[in-house]
Amino acid sequence: MGTVTNSVPTFNGTSQFAGDLQTVINNAVATASAPITAMQTQQTILNNQSQALSGLDGDFTALQSSIQSVQTAVSGSSMGAAVSNPNVISASVGSGASPGHYSILVSDLGAYSTTLTNTWTGTAAGAPDTYVLSIGSQTYNLNPTNNSATSLASAINSQYGDLVQATVVNVGSNRSPDYRLSLQSTALTSDTIDLTDNGASTAAVQSGGAPARYQINNSGTVVSSDSRSVEVAPGVTLNIVGQSSSAVSVDVTQSASALNDAVAAFVTAYNTAQTDLAKQRGQSGGPLQGNEIINQLQRVLDGLITYSPLNGSAINGWRDLGVQFSDTSDTDPTLTFDPSVLQNAESNNPDALTAFLGSAPGNSFTTNNASAAGSGFLLSATNAMTSLEDPISGLLKTTETDYQSQVQSLSTKMSSKQAQIEQMKADLTQQMNAADAMINSMQQVYTNLSNMLQAEQIDAKMYNG
C-alpha cells in the first residue's frame, strides 16, 4: 500500500463541543476505511494462496525434472556397451541409442596412406616456394609463410587438415638431426600422397593405404569403409582397433542403476506432490482448500501413475515395474518402489519396457529426428507436465500470474482509497476546526451577553432597592 505524503491538518478544538467534533472525524474515517480493511483481508488470503500455489509449483517442477531423468535414462545417455573382444572393437554409446545386440567380423583393419619427405632443407629465410599437396588425382595449393618444415606442416593442417595430417619428425639422432615432414591421410584410402616443391616431389617414402573391411550381424555383405568408426545404429558407434577370424559381439544395454535412480526420484517427487496436495483438502485444509486447481493437479498425478498402453503388453502399468500404492485404502495414497521388479523387467522384457516408457516428443531414442512425436509413458507424462509448467500457457504458471496480478491490483486500489480517505480527513478536519472556532466565538458572545445581563440585573436591583 502506498504512502501519502500530503500534510494532514490536526484538529485542535477547544470548544465545549470539541470532543463531539473529534468523534465526527473519527467516525467518518472509520466508515470510509472499512473497504480498505476488507481489501487487506482479501489481499492476505490471496498472498497465502499464492504462496501455497508456489509451493505446489515447486513440487510439480521437481516431478517434471524426475520425468526428464527417466527420459535421459532410456534415451541412450545411460546406455552401456559390453564388447566380447576389446582388442578388435571398442564401442561408444550416445544419445539416441537403444538396447540391442550386434556382431562385427573385421577381415581387414585398413590402412592410412602415408608419405615421408626427404631431409627438409628449407628455412624461414626468404619468400616461400610454390608448394602443391597431391592426394591421388586431386591437387591442393599451399600457402606457407616460409620454407621451413614447421611452416609447411602448419599450412597443410590449417588448410587441409580434414584430408591430411602433417607432422615434423626427426629421423636422425640428437647430434645429427634429420628433420622431415610426415604426412598421413585422415581416411582409409589407397590414394598416395605427395608434396611438390616448385614442381619437384619431396617424397622419400610413399605408402598407399586401404579401406577397412567388415561384416555386420552375419549379413553376408562385406563393407569397405574409409573410416574405422562404424555407426551400426543410431547412437551406437563401433571403433575398429584390430582384426579377428571370428565375429565380435557387442551388447548395448541400459544402465540398471541409472533407470533405478530415475524411477526412484520419480516416486519421491510424486509422493511429495501427493502429500502437499492432501494438505490443501478437508476442514483443516490449507489456503487452497476448495479451489478447483487442487482437483486439476490431482487428476494430473492420477494420470501419471495409472498410465497404461493401449495395446496389451508384458508391461501394462507401473505395477509391472515395481511401483505401486502403499495403501490403496488411504484417501491420498503414496507410492512404493521395488527396484528388483524393475531389474527383472529389464532382463526378461527389455522390448516391453522400452515400449512402455517410450520417449518424450522431439526426443525419441529410436531416431535422431528432433521433431519426433514421442511415445509411451514419456509422451503422456511430458504433455501432462507441459500443460502445467509451460511458462506461457501452463495451468500453474498462469494461475500464479493471476494471483500476483490480483494482489497488485488490490494494493493499487488500497493506495488510491487511502489517499481519498486522507484527503477527506483533511477537509473534514478543516471544517471541524472552523466549526470549533465558530462555537468558541459564539460562546464568547454568549458569555459577554450573559455578563452584561447579569450586571444590568444587579444594577436594577440596587436602583429599585
Q: How would DSSP label each residue in 302-348?
A: HHHHT---SS--S--SGGGGTEEES-TTSSSPPEEE-HHHHHHHHHH
Task: Please tell me the least confidently modeled range out of 145-159, 230-244, 363-377.
Answer: 363-377
Closest CA to 72 of 262, 260, 244: 262
Q: Mean of the pLDDT values across residues 350-362?
A: 86
Buried b / exposed e across 165-184, counting CB within 10 Å, b at 16+? bbebeeeeeeeeeebbbbbb
Any domain includes 150: yes
pLDDT per position as a tens digit, 419-434:
888 888 888 888 888 8
Checking if the pLDDT of 254 tops 90, the result is no
DSSP H or E stretch at residue 386: helix 376-389
The residue segments making up the domain with residue 147 are 114-207
Q: Are 344 and 417 contacting, i.e. CB atoms less than 8 angstroms apart?
A: no
456 in any annotated domain: no
Residue 221 predicted with pLDDT over 60 = yes
Q: What is the mean pLDDT of residues 403-426?
A: 83
Q: How far is CA 13 from CA 24, 267, 422, 439, 446, in A?
A: 12, 72, 19, 10, 18
What span, in angstroms and rounded, lies between the C-alpha atoms of 64 and 56? Answer: 12
Same domain, 188 and 334: no
Top pLDDT among 443 and 102 is at 102
Query: Are 272 and 190 found together in one domain?
Result: no
The SS3 call for residue 83 is: strand
pLDDT for 108 equals 93
Answer whether 316's CB lies under 8 Å from 292's CB: no
- Residue 289 belongs to a domain: yes
Task: Indicate whether 143 pLDDT > 50.
Answer: yes
294 DSSP β-pair partners: none
92 with 240, same domain? yes
Percent residues over pLDDT 90 in the chain: 48
**Per-residue pLDDT, 282:** 83
How would residue 371 be classed by pLDDT, with cut points 50, 70 and 90? very low
Torsion sign (Cα): 338, 342, 344, 349: positive
What gap in Å lies between CA 437 and CA 423, rounded to an integer? 21
Q: In this structure, are 285 and 392 located in the same domain?
A: yes
> How many residues does the structure list for the chain?
465
Signed CA dihedral, 146, 147, 149, 152: sign only = positive
295 and 238: one domain?
Answer: no
Look at residue 198 in the predicted model and tell me its pLDDT: 94
**Terminal Cα distance for the chain, rounded:** 75
pLDDT in tens, 44-88: 888 888 888 889 999 999 999 999 989 888 765 567 788 999 889
Look-up of cell digits 626427404: 118
Asked whether residue 395 is assigned to any structural domain, the reply reads yes
Q: Which of 357, 379, 400 is the last residue of a domain?
A: 400
187 and 133 part of one domain: yes
Res. 112 pLDDT band, cuts 50 70 90: very high
- What are φ and ψ of residue 141, in 5° steps? -75, 140
- End residue of a domain, out of 400, 428, 444: 400
The overall average pLDDT reported for the chain is 86
Which of 362, 385, 400 represents a domain boundary (last residue)? 400
Residue 378 included in any domain? yes
pLDDT recorded at residue 234: 87
Which pLDDT belongs to residue 258? 80
Query: 159-173, 220-234, 393-407, 442-456: which range is least confident on average?
Result: 442-456
Same-domain status, 98 and 235: yes
Contact 239, 85 (CB under 8 A): no
Q: Write the pLDDT tens digit of every residue in 120-139.
A: 999 998 899 999 999 999 99
Q: How confident is the model at residue 465 (pLDDT cuts 50, 70, 90)?
A: low
> Taking the model in full, what pTM does it have?
0.55
Number of domains the chain is built from: 3
Question: How far is Cα 41 from Cα 39, in angstroms, rounded to an integer?
Answer: 5
The residue with greater pLDDT, 201 or 372, is 201
> Within a domain: residue 30?
no
Q: Is residue 12 assigned to a domain?
A: no
pLDDT at 354: 86
Q: Are strands 100-108 and 164-170 parallel, antiparallel or unpaired?
A: unpaired
